[in-house]
Amino acid sequence: MNKNPIHINVNNLHERGGAEGVIHMHGELGRVRCVHCGMRHDWTTDCTQATACPSCNAAPGLRPDIVWFGEMPYHMDLIYTRLRACDLFISVGTSGNVYPAAGFVAEVRRVGHAHTIEVNLEPSAGVSYFEECRHGKAGDLMPALVDELLGKGTVT
């Protein structure tokens, strides 16, 4: 199973679950970024307008190290490299309407060597790009899918 997921959310749940090499394309809530020098820092305490950047000492200028709507997600070149190399693409719990992530399944299908699975409460906007769809609650569907992928069953 892929130990290098592309992570869309801004929390650290994948790492807490044991995943390695996670790409945080939308940044991380436990970090700040300086708008002056661009340096990123792990951050677990309060941050105000008066908080100076540990790298350049400028203030104000620290903001959450997350990508807001309209900003370019981080690590896009690496993400597309991984999409082109993957042999299994699973999309879990998305509307399929927000780009660039909504276009990832189309990129995987364009390359043509990955099995694509949608796990979603209902069909997403990109449902036609998936070879396999499992609709219902992810909390109900994912354990069985993981068991299948780990060899305890067969992916259909």
Structural domain span for residue 50: 27-66
Residues 17 and 41 in one domain: no
Residues 144 and 102 in one domain: yes
**Final residue belonging to a domain, choices 66, 85, 117:** 66
- Measured from the Cβ of residue 47, the count of other Cβ atoms closer than 10 Å reads 14
Residues 51 and 102 in one domain: no
**Nearest CA-CA partner of 26 in 98, 127, 88:** 98
State pTM to two decimals: 0.82
Residues 19 and 40 in one domain: no
Residues 76 and 59 in one domain: no
Residues 60 and 95 in one domain: no
Q: What is the token pair recorded at 44?
A: 């677990």
Write down the mean pLDDT value for the chain: 90
The angle formed by the CA atoms of residues 8, 35 and 99, to the nearest 5 degrees, is: 30
Q: What is the pLDDT of residues 124-151, one digit of tens each?
A: 999 999 999 999 999 999 999 999 999 8
Residues 88 and 128 in one domain: yes
Q: Looking at the annotation, which residues are catalytic?
A: 26
Residue at 1 is within a domain? no
Q: What is the pLDDT of residues 4-17, one digit of tens each?
A: 666 667 888 888 88
Please tell me the total count of domains within the chain. 2
**Domain containing residue 145: CATH number:** 3.40.50.1220
